[in-house]
Amino acid sequence: MEDNRMIEQGQPAGQGQEAGLKKTMYVLAAVAAVLLVALAAVWIERSSLVKELKVEKEDLTREMIALQNDYASLSSDYESINMQLDSSREEVSQLIERIKKTEATNRTKIRQYEKELGTLRSIMRNYIVQIDSLNTLNQKLTADAAAARKEAAESRRQNEELNKAVETLSGQVAAGAVIKGRGIRLDAYNASNRVTDRSSRVVRLMATLSLVENELAEKGPVRVYIQVKDPDGALLTNSSSKEFLLDGQPMMASASREVDYQGSEVELSIYLNDIPDYVKGIYTVEAFTEKGSLGTAELMLR
């Protein structure tokens, strides 16, 4: 009798525990379902993003290949431009290879490649403008020469007009025979022969530039002079500095160097040593031949 009463008294407690377990299981199942849905949403979003990035990389690759084809179809009759074109074509090829080896999810690299693509497109547009301009000039000069030859067979009055045209063309040729420079820059070096922008560490300056290709220019030795001025505009000189004539007028050079110019482009560097000290500020350099200026550049020391 007592055992039956104990069982009857314990029966409601067991049922309560079972109900509590069921509620807990329902709650856990609901939480698991929510987590599963959240994980599925994250996975779907990530898969969509990865897909978009892959499409973006494929589009970038196609644009680069199209640009490569554009460069391949571009040509000129001028050796200097063709050399620049070859260099740009190599840059495009290398960029395509880098894009292919880069994961689509590397957004930093992809953005960098997009900027490089824009730069290479801009460079190609400049090439097209240069080639069109030179072709137009050649066509004009060819037409002028043909007209001059035709007029040479006409009357004295026409012959006098031809002489005037020849004088004009001669002036253009003389102007075109002047050696020009490009890419001039000024760098400062420390005692370890490394580039520096600290005025207290500078032991020498180096100016670099190129003499542009010009088949019309006189061949042979050419001396290039540089004038380097400090932030106050004072000319920097040392015991090796010398005077030179610019269009017949005497000028003092900070340093100079002679090169053998045979009509092809020549790169050269000119050092300026033995300057006691350098101060903070902007230094300027201008390069010359005895026929004129080759260009200017600036250097900031701090």
Q: Are residues 103 and 223 in the same domain?
A: no
Domain count, the chain: 2
Q: Are residues 204 and 235 in the same domain?
A: yes
Kindly report the CATH number assigned to the domain that includes residue 228: 2.60.40.10
Q: Which residue has the higher pLDDT, 257 or 62?
A: 257
| Within-domain flag for 34 | yes
| Percent of the chain residues past pLDDT 90, beyond the cut | 37
Q: Are residues 36 and 164 in the same domain?
A: yes
Q: Are residues 155 and 194 in the same domain?
A: no
| Within-domain flag for 9 | no
Report the relative pairing of strands 281-289 and 220-229 from DSSP bridges: antiparallel
| Within-domain flag for 86 | yes
Q: Are residues 169 and 72 in the same domain?
A: yes
- Answer whether residue 254 shows pLDDT above 80: yes
| Lowest model confidence (mean pLDDT) among 3-12, 46-55, 114-123, 153-162 | 3-12
pLDDT of residue 13: 58
| Within-domain flag for 202 | yes
* N residues, the chain: 302
Phi and psi at 251, nearest 5°, equal: -145, 155
| Within-domain flag for 297 | yes
Please name which of 242, 268, 244 lies closest in space to residue 255, comparing C-alpha atoms: 242
Q: Are residues 56 and 149 in the same domain?
A: yes
> Measuring CA to CA, how many Å separate 295 from each of 80, 84, 129?
19, 21, 23
Query: Cα(236)–Cα(272) distance, rounded to whole angstroms?
Result: 9
Query: Cα(40)–Cα(45) distance, rounded to whole angstroms?
Result: 9
Q: Are residues 144 and 186 in the same domain?
A: no
Residues 66-79 as b or e (16 or more Cβ within 10 Å = b): ebbeebeebebebe
β-bridge partners, 284: 229, 298
Q: What is the pTM of this model?
A: 0.45
Q: Are residues 41 and 82 in the same domain?
A: yes
Q: Are residues 171 and 185 in the same domain?
A: no
Phi and psi at 62, nearest 5°, equal: -65, -40
Report the relative pairing of strands 181-189 and 281-289 from DSSP bridges: unpaired
Tens digit of pLDDT for each residue in 198-253?
999 999 999 999 999 998 889 999 999 999 999 999 999 999 999 999 988 899 99
Cβ distance 251 to 237 under 8 Å? no
Task: Tell me the residue type at 256.
Answer: S
Residue at a domain's end among 176, 192, 216: 176
| Within-domain flag for 11 | no
Tens digit of pLDDT for each residue in 126-144?
877 888 787 787 778 778 7
| Within-domain flag for 1 | no
Q: Which residue has the higher pLDDT, 170 or 180?
A: 180
Q: Are residues 111 and 190 in the same domain?
A: no
Q: Are residues 37 and 172 in the same domain?
A: yes
Residue at a domain's end among 176, 207, 229: 176
Residue at a domain's end among 153, 176, 199: 176
Q: Are residues 266 and 208 in the same domain?
A: yes
218: domain range? 181-301
Rounded mean pLDDT of 81-85? 81
Query: Cα(63)–Cα(59) distance, rounded to whole angstroms?
Result: 6
| Within-domain flag for 230 | yes
In this structure, what DSSP letter does residue 150 have? Answer: H
